[in-house]
Amino acid sequence: MPTRLNKAPIVFRGMTGREVGVVAVSGLLAGIPLGIIGWWSIGMIAMLPTVMFVCAGIAIWFGGTLMRRLRRGRPETWLYRRLQWIAAQRGFNSAGLIIETATYRPRRDRSFHTGDPL
- Per-residue pLDDT of 76-112, as tens digits, reads 778 788 888 888 888 877 777 777 777 777 776 666 5
Q: Is the pLDDT of residue 55 over 80?
A: yes
83 or 44: whose pLDDT is higher?
44
pLDDT tens column, 61-77: 998 888 888 878 888 77
What pTM did the predictor assign?
A: 0.63
Calpha distance 24→21 (Å, rounded): 5
53 or 118: whose pLDDT is higher?
53
Q: What SS3 class is residue 110?
A: helix
pLDDT of residue 2: 67
Distances (CA, A) of 15 to 20, 29, 66, 69: 6, 19, 10, 11
Question: What is the residue type of 1?
Answer: M
CA 65 to chain centre: 17
